[in-house]
Chains A and B, each alone.
Chain A
């Protein structure tokens, strides 16, 4: 009887969004009379930071600072249509819709500015600080504040735009079954090191080293936060969490936080996160969906590390001491 050490590796591909009959999201953008911009969505910020990302995307597209954008979300009675916040689709689907809406609003904004400045709209550009300039002659400029006032009170123009992003349904080919379930994939690879006590079956995760390929990180600190938390959640899935240990039998299922186990602050593995950015072809500014992907590779990596440590394959989650001891017993009797 001893504490045995093992190391496991796993790599995954993870689709962004789903494909069950078309996957649309709609966005509307309009300016206030003072040149702030409102993004209206039905997509939900669950705490993952969608409002921040949509504000960044809108601001980048229109050419204003992020703090000039307000994002209003999640009223499915009155807002534009969104399939919802799930399948790691929010940034990708809603972001593309916001870009389209913001481009249309930007075009109207430039047309109003062109009328005021008596130039051609195609000769105008934004400075990202809230001003519209004549290309090559930046001394000739106008603030977006004044452009919006003019649009509202003088020109009678609505600086607004409509956006719709749709991934159409993909049907399998009859002969081969080939189809395109997703247009965009994030990737990850994890190496986990564990210690397994072959007397008690207890697993201690020592280190988790993760590499995540997530397209372009639109907000690097928020991406890092998601990946650190996700790596922890992957360990939690691998070793702790289950609603029904004898599924589909409900017996012994956890009913509260005392019984539904997750690693606490005292159970943390040394965790490393490396981010690779390979912009996606159809993502907003190259983004993919890293949300759920980041909690997946730790699970097979830990299972492989347990195999490396004590030579048993656990193929049911979570990898509990009981399952390891039963497998060790079966192995010994063979």
Chain B
């Protein structure tokens, strides 16, 4: 079968791949490009581990066909750190022990980033709502909620 060309911007750099039609963005990111930060948990859109940001919106890369991403701007967790400096969300997840096995962490951070991009000073309820599409088996969620609130406070202090 003929390959389909796709081009998009991933974490600031241009990517171009020839893919089989029907390939998910998750598989293209992980297997073709080698960005393994989005995780394949359920492959049916119920766990949130594969979450990425496409043109500013939180999307499930396991349910997104890569060919629909032509010209899109995509952000994954591996694109958040600048040089050796972690993103405030990554810093907060580390400092508050909000990861344990780590499998859900990239998806959680993507969901939290979209929240903070739109709502820089979220309430606890805002954070709970934003994370409610992501499943975690280790932490009991409370440390993750605290990490997002901590990152929001760090952001507002840096802005002030």
* A47 close to B141 (CB less than 8 A): no
A46 to B103 Cα, complex, angstroms: 11
A228-B139, A262-B137 provided; 15 other pairs, C-beta below 8 A?
A47-B138, A48-B101, A225-B97, A225-B138, A226-B100, A228-B140, A229-B138, A229-B140, A264-B135, A264-B141, A265-B127, A265-B131, A265-B132, A268-B140, A268-B142
Q: Which residues of B contact A (CB under 8 A)?
A: 42, 44, 46-47, 97, 100-103, 127-129, 131-132, 135, 137-145
The 8 closest A-B pairs by CB, nearest first: A47-B101, A232-B140, A257-B46, A265-B141, A229-B140, A265-B128, A265-B131, A225-B97
A257 to B47 Cα, complex, angstroms: 7
In the complex formed, the residue of B with least CB distance to A45 is B101
Contact A264-B140, Cβ < 8 Å, known A48-B100, A222-B97, A225-B100: no
* A265 close to B144 (CB less than 8 A): yes
A-B contact count (CB 8 A): 63
Q: Which residues of A contact B (CB under 8 A)?
A: 46-49, 221-222, 224-226, 228-233, 256-258, 262, 264-266, 268, 271
A217 to B122 Cα, complex, angstroms: 35
A231 to B129 Cα, complex, angstroms: 22
* B141 close to A271 (CB less than 8 A): no
* A256 close to B100 (CB less than 8 A): no
* B47 close to A231 (CB less than 8 A): no
* A257 close to B141 (CB less than 8 A): no
A257 to B43 Cα, complex, angstroms: 11
A225 / chain B contacts, CB cutoff of 8 Å:
97, 100, 138-139, 143
A218 to B145 Cα, complex, angstroms: 26
A47 to B97 Cα, complex, angstroms: 12
CB distance from A254 to the nearest CB of B (A): 11
* A265 close to B145 (CB less than 8 A): yes
CB distance from B112 to the nearest CB of A (A): 11
Instruction: Find the residue from A48, A257, A268 having the highest chain B CB count within 10 A.
Output: A257
